[in-house]
Structure 1
Amino acid sequence: MDLGLSNATAAVVGGGRGMGLATARCLAEDGARVAIVARSRSDVDRAADELVRRGSPDAIGLVADICDGAQVDRVFAELHERWDGELNVLINAVGPGVVGSFEDLTDDQWRRAFDEGVMGMVRCVRSALPLLRKAAWARIVNFSAHSTQRQSTVLPAYTAAKAALTSISKNLSLLLAKDEILVNVVSPGSIASESLIGWAKSVGVDGEDPYQLMGAITKHFGHPAHLPRAGLPDEIGPVVAFLASRRNSYMTGANVNVDGGSDFT
């Protein structure tokens, strides 16, 4: 399907690996000019090179820590110069890597979860808004998580941050409706990310096998899905790409679950 992204400009924050990179690949294959924003220089350079090969005519990798407002402002100032002040797509795919029970989490861990998982998105949207408003059409897609609907006792800070992100995204969809900027949220379920695969190996499970991975998730976290396997990052990318595209012309303020059916279990 042609998503109408040819020559569109798109920034994928957290696009150096995992679901963010899977999304960036979809945008590139549809001809979008993609900027990858992440903390690792090696990740952004590798991703940008791949996206050029996949069809992105102006792919670029930019290094920034989204917990630092000055670095975020610098990134979008650079994109302003590079793309004549216009941005069609902003995707925020960063997830706070904070795991631990309520009783074990420190104040600093709670602050980090919200700084990475909520304020990082706020900083990026705030800096990108002038570019999004100038574009002929614009979309924002933020990554939440299905744990906001199915709680886990080892993810209270992560889940709270994602719940706040979801709420702010809903508010943004209302605020930006007058500008016809569509704002949506995607909530992935149990996806075979690098961190989840690494966790599976630590408990003696082959995390590369999505069926074994789902078995371990069910045993340790009680988060089964209707489908008997974990999802793959490449199964998230197309959904996000659609929401970020011109093909999506009327969906805004939505929270889209991509979770193998676990929301209905």
Structure 2
Amino acid sequence: MDLGFSQATAVIVGGGRGMGFATARCLAEDGARVALMGRSPDVLEQAAAALVEFGSPDAVGVVVDTADVGQVEAAFAEVGERWNDGLNVLINTVGPDAVGGFEDLTDEQWLAAVDGGVMGMVRCVRAALPLLRRAEWARIVNFSAHSTQRQSEILPAYTAAKAMVNSVSKNLSLSLAKDEILVNVVSPGSIASEALVGWADSVGVDGSDPYRLMEAIDEHFGHPAHLPRAGLPEEIAPVAAFLASRRNSYMTGANVNVDGGSVFT
């Protein structure tokens, strides 16, 4: 299916690896011009080079720490100079690193979860809005998590931050409707991300096997899915790509679960 990305411009925050890169690849293969944002220059350089091979003619990596508002503003100013016609797509995939029971987490850890999981997204959307409004059409896709609908005792701060992403995104879908900027959320389930695979390896489980990985997730986190395996980043990417595309012309304010069948709402 042609998603209408030919010559479209897209920024993917956290696009250097995992679900972000898999989504970037989908856009590149459909002809989008992609800018990846993240903190690691080496990762971004390698990822951008790969996207050129996949079909993004001038893919670029932009180093930015989303905790620093000045860096975020400078990064989007650079994008604006590169693409004079504006920005069609903003995808935010970055999430917080917050694991621990309610009584174990400090105030600092709670605040870090909110800053990493919500405020980074807020800063990026705020900086991108002038570029999105300049474009002929525009979409925002924010990554949340299925844990907002299926709680875990060791993820209260992470889940609270992701619930805030849902709320802010819903509000944006309302406030930006007058500009016809569509805003949606993707909620991945248990996905074999680099971090999750690394965690599985650390507890003696072969994280590269999605079936074994799901068994470990069930044992430690209590997040089983109807399907007997963990998902893969490339299984999230097409859903995010559709929501970010011109082909999606009327869906806004939605939260789309891609979780192997654990939630039905």
1:161 — aligned with what?
Answer: 161
1:57 — aligned with what?
Answer: 57
2:29 — aligned with what?
Answer: 29
Cα distance in 2 for partners of 1:197, 1:14 equals: 18
Paired residue type of 2:123: R
SS of the counterpart of 1:100?
Answer: coil
- CA deviations on 1:36-92 (whole Å, 9 max, x unpaired) are 000000111011000000000110000000000000000000011000050000000
Mapping of residues 102-251 of structure 1, within 5 Å: 102-251=102-251
SS of the counterpart of 1:90?
Answer: strand
Paired residue type of 1:247: R
Paired residue type of 1:31: G
Cα distance in 2 for partners of 1:184, 1:29 equals: 22
1:261 — aligned with what?
Answer: 261
> TM-score normalized by structure 1?
0.99
Paired residue type of 2:171: N
Cα distance, 1:104 vs structure 2? 1.0
For structure 1, which runs of at least 5 residues remain unmatched after alignment? none
Q: Mean Cα displacement is larger for which, 47-56 or 105-114?
A: 105-114
Cα distance in 1 for partners of 2:221, 2:237 equals: 25
Percent identity for Structure 1 against Structure 2: 76
Paired residue type of 2:246: R
Cα distance in 2 for partners of 1:249, 1:132 equals: 15
Cα distance, 1:17 vs structure 2? 0.6
- CA deviations on 1:136-171 (whole Å, 9 max, x unpaired) are 000000000000000011111110000001000000
2:97 — aligned with what?
Answer: 97
Cα distance in 2 for partners of 1:261, 1:48 equals: 33
Equivalent residues, number: 265
Q: What do you get for the CA RMSD once the two structures are aligned?
A: 0.9
Cα distance, 1:106 vs structure 2? 1.3
Cα distance, 1:264 vs structure 2? 4.0
Paired residue type of 1:216: A
Cα distance in 2 for partners of 1:264, 1:176 equals: 27
Paired residue type of 2:223: H
Cα distance, 1:198 vs structure 2? 1.0
Paired residue type of 2:244: A
Cα distance in 1 for partners of 2:241, 2:259 equals: 17
For structure 2, which runs of at least 5 residues remain unmatched after alignment? none
Paired residue type of 2:78: E
- CA deviations on 1:158-215 (whole Å, 9 max, x unpaired) are 1000000100000000000010000000000000001111111122111100000001
Cα distance, 1:111 vs structure 2? 1.0
